[in-house]
Amino acid sequence: MKLKTICTFNSPLGPVSVVESEGALVEVLFGIPEKSEAKTGTSPLLQEAEKQLREYFDGVRTQFDLPLQPEGTEFQKKVWQALLSIPYGETRTYKEVAELVGNVNATRAVGGANNKNPLGIVVPCHRVIGANGKMVGYAGGVEFKEYLLQLEKSHKK
């Protein structure tokens, strides 16, 4: 089992926990996990992740520059990589993300991968919306998704 370290800080959305393992960010979670295999602590990487997330919430950071190592299936990783290509302040539909990963019929699977994204905010699954433009599903709740999209739209240059 890989050693993980977790650090929690306050954000406009309440507590946010960042988790690192072997020199890479593996999770960004809303709240404080009730159970975690990670030890509480800090590191230069976790400090940098907190700094960059605070800059994002302050509207001065539009991209993250952190080593990422999310755990998931190959398909999930492909979807998460595609999410990184969605520009700050813009949205894409699940179908458009399915097209980005090369399978126009994978809309539901893209939704499932989005739901399992362990690096919320940093890997911007909040930028994926329903075909009708509606806010659908988000790990932190639809109100968090709306907040993040509004934050980005208000700071987009």
Active-site residue, 7 included: no
Task: Assess contact for 145 and 126: CB atoms under 8 A.
Answer: yes
Task: Assess contact for 72 and 107: CB atoms under 8 A.
Answer: no
In whole angstroms, how far apart are CA 8 and each of 20, 33, 54? Answer: 12, 10, 12
Residue among 25, 97, 106, 125 flagged as catalytic:
125
Find how far residue 154's CA is from the centre of its chain. 19
Q: Which two tokens stand for residue 60?
A: 């001065």
What's the half-sphere exposure (Cβ side, CA atoms, 13 Å) at 79? 32
CA-wise closest residue to 79 among 103, 104, 97: 97
Active site members: 125
